[in-house]
Amino acid sequence: MSKLLPDLYVNTIFDIDLIALRNRGIDSIIVDIDNTLVAWETEYASKEIIDWFKKIKELGFKCCIISNNTKDRVVKFNKSLEVYAIHRAVKPRKKPFLKAIKFMNTTPDKTVVIGDQIFTDILGGNRLGAYTILVVPISKKEFFWTRIVRKLEKRILKKIEKVN
């Protein structure tokens, strides 16, 4: 159960206090694409997202995008960002997260995992031993399976609210 709880829950990636992350000793960012950075149907990064990546680079963070989506989608999306990228990751499997850690030459305790799904991004990040941040999904347009998972997530989030 605790592996499903994020350390932090925010509206959008823009609400993440990057300085606070750096002050926690975090030097590397693993981030999901779909519904975290852009909506499902958005092929390219928006200006705001490109600027956000510029900002994290300026602050000295290393970054890797990890997506369960196809190579085409991930490569195209990463064109304007030029960060490490892993496609068809099969999150929450540990392997892609460990690969990202290796790319960034860091350790799990210095890494944050940011994503919109508890059962892939947050579970994967927590299993790795990273700091985890859940964001509210951007688009409501989702695959059928994702919609089912959302219902389970809602139950869990209710529990988080109770604890707080």
Where do contacts with Mg ion occur on this chain (CB under 5 A)? 32, 34-36, 116
Query: In terms of CB distance, is 27 or 116 closer to Mg ion?
Result: 116
Residue with structure tokens 């030459």?
105
Cβ proximity of 32 and 121 under 8 Å: yes
Give 18's contacts (C-beta < 8 A, 6+ positions apart). Answer: 55, 56, 59, 61
Query: In terms of CB distance, is 28 or 117 closer to Mg ion?
Result: 117
Write down the least CB distance from residue 9 to Mg ion, Å: 15
d(CA 115, CA 41): 17
Write down the least CB distance from residue 77 to Mg ion, Å: 12
Write down the least CB distance from residue 1 to Mg ion, Å: 21
Query: In terms of CB distance, is 27 or 153 closer to Mg ion?
Result: 153
Secondary structure class of 105 (helix, strand, coil):
coil
